RNA sequence: GCCGGCUUGGCGGAAUUGGUAGACGCGCUCGACUCAAAAUCGAGUUCGAAAGAGUGUGGGUUCGAGUCCCACAGCCGGUACCA
């Protein structure tokens, strides 16, 4: 047994007794249950507020202290909003598909669902131990067959859809069938489609990996290789424009919006056709204005025209270079990014603007997958082309003169410049030249304006057991077919051996019976990535038990659309690690559903807040290997749930990265004990009983403590709205100190403080309030959580006098206490008469006096 | 390299958005209570003996700058030849 170092210490207040007690009450009474429109108990008069946490992956390690950070923040806002008269939807669930459970199953032979559900039980216990006000009746797990059914249903919706570029929305492929499109033509435009592509394949794990996963597993010693495999893709690129444009209206951190914009990577430019012995080579450029500076052309080594244009003399060199590139992985390519390589093809292309012949090279700095896989090189005004040109001694022609004379033209890539050496474009500013060149190209049919995105389609299949199987079968004709909705959910077969099959079709190929769909069709053996479940879970919370739809229309309209402007989830809190992928994928799925009118808002999450990482006590990232991981179970055992909640909110601003300090939890625990002891005293037997300090006398006098209380109501209200929880707590500390110092405290005032503190520390405040209710019948019969949020009385905030700062030449020299309604003239006169002011203006001339009413007087003298 | 963020006492962090820098908490010091300790309560705590200095560094705007502008440095995160 690990010795408890706190075992000798008596708890400063009996949290170990009343925290479980109140958690039990909330559970039994379903205190935080919220109803949908149409259900008994639904109050249509109240506005809605949907407050969402990023649901956790229930790992075997249990909660870490990062979870309660975001979860406490949303819990405070949820409890506050309920008191302000909102119907609050505040749910929790589990992102329960995932690799660790599968890896464990491979090792032990135990079905992954066993560990998954055991882990969920542990997570649920821990979250309940922290007193979060979730509506547990809405709990969901992405691994639940009822949930899997609808994940697959949405997938089929994607499968049956194409993107109509005129309407700019998803439409059923049925429309195309009706127009007589062929099977192949339709398959080529589906939002969910099959393609052969280069993917990261790990033979050790027997699965493909996303690019961002590949590096991580490689560093853990797994082998990852590039392999051309048939994979399911989702056509997220069709939505690139909408995904970028709709960011504008979202109440998200600008930094996250920027991250998404960069990820989608929109660029505007032109496609330009170059002639090469009658063959047309199309390049993409963002700088058509620099066409006169194009001195050579580069194709990617994999470009389809390379074999056709290469001259016999260069054939050997070109083939050798292509082989060299094919052997390189993506990682190796980027590692060697600094040093440019390439080979001349022997061919020349004609520059359409001036008819000049320019050499065509191949080089791996031109990527196959972006633009047209071919570029015109303008070494004077592109650093990559510049490096290449220098290395291979290709000509460099200036076509832009920087506006700033101090900037050299060589390698100048900016837009602040004027065209030179460009015939009739000379003298034009760059942006104008760019526009003019595009019109010229279009007029002469040499090219056209073009927008490109970095975003690639989403590799959606995995070769795993513990994921949603695709609801797809393959026919004898080699085509894929959707299974009927009535066959959903399609669950994984029962298997005993979860080991990778070594077959790139994944472990499910081993389930022979399951694969056999009919005599004419076999099942798809791939499964969906973990992202699938998290793409729409916020919609399922709205109507978690609906068997007829993934979400009921009325409930969806109420909780998502509501009465606010852009609509969607009102507050979504989680870590930055999901800034791009999860938040982009979920937005994409949501937009597809929106196109069909299945959801009523174009965006899922109206307001997003990222909580900052909590570092270990040593200021390093928490990790098992560093031994600096803090376990919430230990903190709750030693200090209680209210203390850890309050501490995590007091550490600093929610959004900042901040280090853990257990000493700080002690400080918070002392604060809560002081709140406790305002009302409670220990009797001879060592039991806590109500003391005499809190009384029902004196409801009217303006005492310092009462003044402080009303300032605190104002501050805490504003700070919760701002999510500035740390300053709200420090204000409540000041108020508590004022009450501690007071001779006696009115029970109404004390109860008001408890109410302000209730969203932060719900257990101790409910406990104290229930004890007070026993002695003061005027407090009524309900829990604090059922009371309306208190309002401050402005009369208590009015001050008669005010301290004014007196400065001489901007330096603090004196302070005056004056009536608040003093005139400017009087204040100035008093300031000038102040002895300290006289001392510092002695022998000087007063040049100017600045009077800021209610704040300061600055005397300027020299 | 490019893009973003951060930098305030011994420590975590406040600062009405251009107006008393250091709220609140931790830590530390002293005192009360105690045989003693813990707990609790009270006082003090930016540096400096003082004049004075002081919000990463250097400049600027202003009566007045942690806050606005310019340049630079350090740390953290994202991204990686996207033409």
Sequence-ordered list of residues with C-beta below 8 angstroms from that of A180, at least 6 positions apart, any chain:
none
Buried b (16+ CB within 10 A) or exposed e, A134-148: bbbebbbbbbbeebb
pLDDT at A516 over 70: yes
For B62, which residue's CA is nearest its C1'? A810
Q: For residue A767, say if its preceding peptide bond is cis, omega within 30 degrees of 0.
A: no
pLDDT of residue A8: 47
- Measuring from the CA of residue A651 to each C1' atom, give the nucleotide at the shortest distance: B12
Strand B bases contacted by the protein (CB, 7 Å): 3-5, 11-16, 19-21, 23-27, 38-42, 53, 63-65, 76-83
How much is the mean pLDDT over chain A?
Answer: 91
Residue A762 (CA) to nucleotide B18 (C1'), in angstroms, measures 40
Which nucleotide is at minimal CA–C1' distance from A368?
Answer: B82
Separation of A723 CA and B66 C1' (Å): 22
Range name among A45-54, A387-396, A439-448, A813-822 with the lowest pLDDT average: A813-822
What average pLDDT does this structure show over A702-710? 89
- Residue A299 contacts by C-beta under 8 Å, 6 or more apart in sequence? A281, A305, A306, A345, A360, A361, A362, A366, A373, A374
Whole-structure pTM value: 0.94
What percentage of chain A reaches a pLDDT higher than 70?
A: 97
Question: Model confidence over A154-163: pLDDT tens digits?
Answer: 999 999 999 9
Instruction: Using the CA of A860, give the nucleotide whose C1' is nearest.
Output: B63
Candidate from A281-285, A475-479, A689-693 with smallest mean pLDDT: A689-693
Q: Integer distance in angstroms from CA A486 to C1' B55?
A: 66
pLDDT band at residue A585 under the 50/70/90 scheme: very high
Protein CA at A320 to nucleotide C1' at B81, angstroms: 21
pLDDT tens digits, one per residue of A623-661: 888 888 999 999 999 999 999 999 999 999 999 999 999
pLDDT tens, position by position, A745-776: 999 999 999 999 999 999 999 999 999 999 99
Q: Nearest residue to B52 (CA, C1')?
A: A811
Its ipTM equals: 0.95
**Closest protein residue to B83 (Cα–C1'):** A285
A489 or A6: whose pLDDT is higher?
A489
Q: Which nucleotide is nearest to A254 (CA to C1')?
A: B4
> With b meaning 16 or more CB within 10 Å and e meaning fewer, what string describes A597-631?
ebbbbbbbbbbbbbbbbbbbeeeeebeeeeebebe
Tell me the CA–C1' distance in angstroms for A621 and B4.
20
* Nucleotide minimizing C1' to CA distance for residue A261: B3
Question: How far apart (Å, rounded) are the C-alpha atoms in residues A268 and A288?
Answer: 10
Span A593-603, pLDDT tens digits: 999 999 999 99
Q: What is the pLDDT of residue A560?
A: 96
Q: Identify the DSSP state of A59.
A: -
Task: For nucleotide B77, give the residue with the nearest CA to its C1'.
Answer: A576
Residue A671 CB coordination number (10 Å) = 23
By the 8 A CB rule, do A260 and A579 touch? yes
- Give the CA-to-C1' distance from A810 to B71 in angstroms: 27
A4 φ/ψ sector (left φ>0, alpha ψ -120 to 50, else beta):
beta
**Binning pLDDT at 50, 70 and 90, where does residue A335 land?**
low
Q: Which nucleotide is nearest to A811 (CA to C1')?
A: B64
- pLDDT of A221 above 80: no
pLDDT at A781: 77
Q: How far apart are CA A754 and CA A779, in angstroms?
A: 12
Straight-line distance from CA A621 to C1' B29, in Å? 34
Nearest amino-acid residue to B38, taking CA and C1': A9
Q: Residue A292: which pLDDT band, with cuts at 50, 70 and 90?
A: very high
Asked whether the predicted pLDDT for residue A536 surpasses 50, the reply is yes
């Amino acid at each position: 047994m690990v010795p408890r170092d706190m075992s000798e210490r008596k708890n400063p207040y009996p949290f170990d007794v009343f925290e479980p007690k109140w958690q039990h009450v909330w559970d039994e009474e379903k205190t935080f249950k919220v109803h949908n429109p149409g259900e008994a108990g639904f109050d249509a008069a109240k506005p809605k507020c949907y407050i969402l946490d990023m649901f956790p992956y229930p790992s075997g390690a249990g909660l870490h202290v990062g979870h309660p950070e975001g979860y406490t923040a949303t819990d405070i806002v949820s409890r506050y909003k309920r008191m302000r008269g909102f119907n609050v939807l505040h749910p929790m669930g589990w992102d329960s598909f995932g690799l660790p459970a599968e890896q464990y199953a491979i090792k032990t032979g135990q079905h992954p669902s066993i560990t998954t559900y055991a882990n969920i039980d542990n997570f649920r216990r821990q979250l309940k131990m922290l007193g979060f006000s979730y509506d547990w009746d809405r709990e969901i797990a992405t691994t639940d067959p009822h949930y899997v059914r609808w994940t697959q249903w949405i997938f089929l919706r994607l499968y049956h859809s194409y993107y109509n570029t005129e309407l700019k929305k998803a439409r059923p492929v049925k429309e195309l069938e009706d127009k007589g499109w062929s099977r192949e033509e339709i398959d080529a435009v589906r939002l969910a489609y099959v393609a052969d592509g280069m993917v990261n394949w790990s033979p050790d794990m027997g699965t493909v990996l996303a690019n961002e996963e590949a590096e991580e597993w490689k560093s853990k010693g797994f082998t990852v290789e590039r392999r051309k495999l048939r994979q399911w893709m989702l056509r997220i690129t069709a939505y690139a424009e909408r995904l970028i444009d709709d960011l504008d209206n979202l109440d998200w951190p600008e930094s996250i919006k920027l991250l998404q914009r960069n990820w989608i990577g929109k660029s505007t430019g032109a496609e330009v056709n170059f002639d090469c012995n009658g063959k047309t080579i199309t390049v993409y450029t963002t700088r058509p204005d620099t066409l006169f500076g194009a001195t050579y052309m580069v194709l990617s080594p994999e470009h389809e025209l390379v074999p056709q244009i290469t001259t016999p003399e260069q054939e050997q060199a070109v083939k050798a270079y292509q082989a060299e590139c094919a052997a390189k992985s993506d990682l190796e390519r980027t590692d060697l990014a600094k040093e440019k390589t390439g080979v001349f093809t022997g061919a020349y292309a004609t520059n359409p603007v001036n008819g000049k012949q320019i050499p065509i090279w191949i080089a791996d700095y031109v990527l196959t997958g972006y633009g047209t896989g071919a570029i015109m090189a303008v070494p004077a005004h592109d650093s990559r082309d510049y490096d290449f040109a220098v290395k291979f001694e290709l000509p460099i022609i200036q076509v832009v003169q920087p506006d700033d004379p101090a900037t050299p033209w060589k390698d100048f890539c900016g837009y602040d410049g004027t065209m030179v050496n460009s015939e009739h474009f000379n003298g034009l500013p760059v942006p104008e030249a760019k526009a003019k060149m595009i019109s010229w190209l279009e007029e002469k049919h040499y090219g056209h304006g073009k927008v490109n995105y970095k975003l690639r389609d989403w590799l959606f299949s995995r070769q795993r057991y513990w994921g949603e199987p695709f609801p797809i079968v393959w026919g004898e004709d080699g085509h894929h077919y959707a299974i009927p909705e009535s066959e959903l959910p399609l669950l994984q077969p029962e298997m005993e051996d979860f080991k990778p099959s070594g077959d790139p079709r994944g472990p499910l190929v081993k389930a022979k019976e399951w694969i056999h769909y009919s005599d004419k069709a076999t099942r798809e053996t791939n499964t969906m990535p973990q992202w699938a479940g998290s793409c729409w879970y916020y919609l399922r919370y709205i109507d978690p038990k609906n068997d007829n739809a993934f979400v009921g229309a009325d409930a969806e309209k109420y909780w998502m659309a509501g009465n606010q402007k852009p609509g969607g989830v009102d507050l979504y809190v989680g870590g930055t690690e999901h800034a791009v992928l999860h938040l982009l994928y979920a937005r994409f799925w949501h937009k597809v559903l929106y196109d069909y009118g299945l959801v009523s808002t174009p965006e899922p999450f109206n307001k997003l807040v990222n909580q900052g990482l909590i570092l270990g006590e040593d200021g390093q990232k928490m990790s098992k290997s560093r031994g600096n991981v803090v376990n919430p179970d230990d903190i709750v055992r030693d200090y209680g749930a209210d203390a850890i909640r309050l501490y995590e909110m007091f550490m600093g601003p929610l959004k900042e990265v901040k280090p853990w300090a257990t000493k700080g939890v002690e400080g918070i625990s002392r604060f809560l004990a002081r709140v406790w002891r305002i009302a409670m005293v220990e009797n001879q037997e060592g039991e806590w009983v109500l003391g005499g300090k809190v009384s029902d006398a004196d409801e009217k006098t303006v005492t310092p403590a009462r003044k402080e209380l009303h300032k605190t109501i104002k501050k805490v209200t504003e700070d919760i709205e701002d999510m500035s929880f740390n300053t709200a707590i420090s204000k409540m500390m000041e108020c508590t100190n004022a009450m501690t110092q007071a001779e006696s405290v009115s029970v109404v005032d004390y109860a008001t403080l408890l109410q302000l503190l209730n969203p932060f520390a719900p257990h101790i405040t409910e406990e104290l309030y229930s004890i007070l209710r026993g002695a003061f019948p005027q407090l009524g019969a309900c829990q604090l959580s059922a009371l309306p949020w208190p309002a401050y009385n402005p009369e208590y905030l009015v001050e008669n006098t005010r301290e004014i700062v007196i400065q001489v030449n901007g330096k603090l020299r004196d302070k005056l206490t004056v009536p608040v309604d003093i005139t400017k003239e009087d204040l100035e006169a008093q300031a000038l008469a102040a002895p300290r002011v006289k001392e510092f203006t002695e022998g000087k001339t007063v040049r100017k006096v600045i009077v800021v009413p209610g704040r300061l007087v600055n005397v300027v003298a020299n």
